[in-house]
Amino acid sequence: MISLFVNSWWIPLVRLPASRQKMLWRPFHALHLPREDPGDLEYGSPQGMEGLQPGLVGLRGALVAAWEADLRAVRQDSFDAGRGREALVFIRRFYTLISDLRGPIQKAWGPGGHVHVVDSPDVAGPGPRVSQSRIRLRNRAELVTSELFTYADGSARPSPATGLDREIKVVDVEPLTVVNELYRLAVDFLQFALSSDLALSGTAWLYERMAANSFVESARWPTLEEVYRRTSREFAVPDSFAAMAAMYTARLEGPVVAPNAGHTNGTGTNGSHDAGEDGTELALSIVQLQRHAEAQADLANFVQVVRIAVTADQEDRRVTSEEVVSKLGLAAEAAVKVGRLVAAAPDVCLDAQSTADFSEWSFRPSYNVHFFRRIHGVDDYLAMTASLAPRAAAGSNGTPSQGTFKPDEGGALPDGIVTFLMTDVVSSTLLWIQNRAQMYQAMRRHDQLLASAIEANGGVVLKERGEGDSFFAVFQRATDAVAAAVDAQRAVQLEPWPDKVDLRVRMAVLTGEADAQDRDYRSPAVNRCAKLRRRAVGNQILVSETTYSIVADILREDISLVGVGKRRLEGHDRPEEVYVVQHPEVRLEAAVEPDEVTA
């Protein structure tokens, strides 16, 4: 729990374990927004490639609305800093801000979320303290000081390493400085409290929001000049136009064409002209639009077009704006917006063609579009897109490191000591390239067979995260996980696959401790299971020593486990015993490559 002390008031923020952190995606569009703090990245995911968690979009929006209201007041010279009592007014504003954000904070992790806000001073005041941390603001004449405390064993300990212990001058300073110091402190406090990045560093968020609103309203990306004029006329801003333009264009590798300049270069890579030229457009990426509630309808249309592209790819044809308008019932302006978004999505679109105003457009589906066949929303799209960067760089079959997986369904999940099953189709990338049409049919059947085997043995299929040809499942009983793996391999091997499609699946089973309370499995066991799967080959099931110790004497009589000795998992120094599953009626590989010996 996080508590806020303001003179005689406390606002404690009580939270259960936070769900997975979301990262920011570096845009690939016309102008690159400045990177926020790269900070905490998760389990090997590509830096800056994922969007905000859905619940955080609402919290960020509420915080931005309050910030904008005060920036608007400063611009209109109506902001009251409280002359003669500046420190007290600053503290009260901070208190009111956090109190007003109570609802969005509670919703930050979805319905019934895991963050709760309590106003009772008894929670963090005298008597039993249940908070883990709190921020305290004090009046020091010309200064306001802030201090963060964490609680352990009932005693408060200072936490200066968080960077929240500050001295903020509030007397004889410009109102704009006061406002930005106030909200910067609030943002940093909430980010620490919620273990999340709200993507509100610097001043780029204000220009980004203006660009997003302009796109939603006018169906085109605004120029830098338009963004700056509109922003500076409505809000107080500290940047000159040259400084604002430089913060974007400084990161460009070279001039390329913006998506709404009338065409794309056929690769989906988009950009802008040099910073000083008239007409330079400030185009946002999908992840940047995802931060804004106003853009959600356009993003939903974008996802529907991605799904149309998946079908068109299977039928080896182009996607046209006429088809999209007919199938989705879009108005002309909505079709223009989705056309601009798709043209800038290289994993969806190839060979884009359009009129100058995007009133008509078409594209050929990208080679990677098949990975999006199971997406249901923009968050799924961003997670999948994030996985494709390491997939190409790895030079293997595109299996990224695992760490966090979110379930599809809302029912109860097992936690405590659980068993994970991970599967992967071997050499799937090559199969997709060589037999595209047959692979669509084959992978649909693959998904059905594995889901059926897992669910028949009491497992829960979790939402796949970034690997379109893999499965991830969790079981309460280790014996059920092993049985499900055997049944799945049997079903895959008995299936009459299309010609030229030799579908071979590798699997790993590992038992470990994991907590599903926040609807995410966040555990080293998840990572180890993924690394164990990497040691497997097609038609093989590897079992960890933890699983073996549980199931060795209680497995079905037709299933046996054979030890192959100790193997070292990638990224782990301690070798562990590895076992292969054998069954008299299922063709299962028994050999595991030995560890490489280095001189």
Beta bridge partners of 104: none
* Mean pLDDT value across residues 573-593: 91
Q: How far apart are CA 392 and CA 373, in angstroms?
A: 19
User: 107, 136, 117: which is closest to 6 by C-alpha?
Assistant: 136
Burial of 101 (0-12, 13-18, 19+ CB in 10 A): buried
* HEC-encoded secondary structure of 175-243: HHHHHHHHHHHHHHHHHHHHCCCCCCCCCHHHHHHHHHHHHHHHCCCCEHHHHHHHHHHHCCCCCCHHH
What does the alpha-carbon distance between residue 293 and residue 57 come to, in Å, rounded to a whole number? 7
How distant, in Å, are the alpha carbons of 15, 93, 116, 360, 519 from that of 1?
5, 21, 9, 53, 19
| pLDDT tens track for 45-59 | 333 444 566 667 888
Average confidence (pLDDT) over 499-505:
86
pLDDT of 573 above 90: no
Torsion of the alpha carbons at 511, 513, 515 and 516, rounded to the nearest 10 = 10
Q: What is the pLDDT of residue 87?
A: 93
In the structure encoding, which two tokens stand for residue 19, read together? 């769900």
Per-residue pLDDT at 375 exceeds 90: no
Radius of gyration of the chain (CA): 27
**Mean pLDDT, residues 135-160 taken together:** 77
Helix (H, G, I), strand (E, B) or coil at 266: coil
- The domain segmentation of the chain, as residue ranges, is 2-24+50-194, 400-582
Percent above pLDDT 90 for the chain: 39
Interior angle at CA 471, CA 405 and CA 109, nearest 5: 20
Cα–Cα distances (Å) from 293 to 203, 209, 231, 300, 503, in that order, read 19, 11, 19, 12, 42
Do 337 and 298 form a contact (C-beta atoms < 8 A)?
Answer: yes
Q: What is the pLDDT of residue 467?
A: 57
Task: Give pLDDT, residue 278.
Answer: 52
Q: Residues 592, 578: contact at Cβ < 8 Å?
A: yes
- pLDDT tens digits for range 319-361: 999 999 999 999 999 999 999 999 999 999 999 999 999 999 9
Q: Which of 124-133, 138-147, 183-192, 588-597 has the lowest mean pLDDT?
A: 124-133
Is the pLDDT at 580 greater than 70? The verdict is: yes
Give the model's confidence band at 484: pLDDT under 50 very low, under 70 low, under 90 confident, else very high.
Answer: very high
Q: Is the pLDDT of residue 273 over 60?
A: no
Q: Which position has the higher pLDDT, 112 or 254?
A: 112
- E-assigned strands of 318-365? 319-320, 349-354, 361-365
**Which region, left, alpha or beta, applies to residue 259 given φ > 0 means left and ψ of -120 to 50 means alpha?**
alpha
Q: Which residues of 396-423 are buried (b: 16+ CB within 10 A; e: fewer)?
A: ebbbbbbbbbbbeeeeebbbeebbbbbb
In sequence order, the 6+-apart residues with CB closer than 8 A to the CB of 435 are 498, 500, 501
Average pLDDT over residues 506-535: 82
Distance (Å, whole) CA 70 – CA 76: 10
Residue 212 reports pLDDT greater than 90: yes
The CATH number that domain 400-582 falls under is 3.30.70.1230
Contacts of 73 (CB under 8 A, 6+ apart): 79
pLDDT tens-digit map of 393-441: 333 333 333 333 333 444 567 877 889 999 999 888 788 877 776 787 7
Q: CA nearest 29: which of 217, 204, 283?
A: 283
Share of the chain above pLDDT 70, in %: 73
Please state the rounded mean pLDDT for residues 504-514.
91
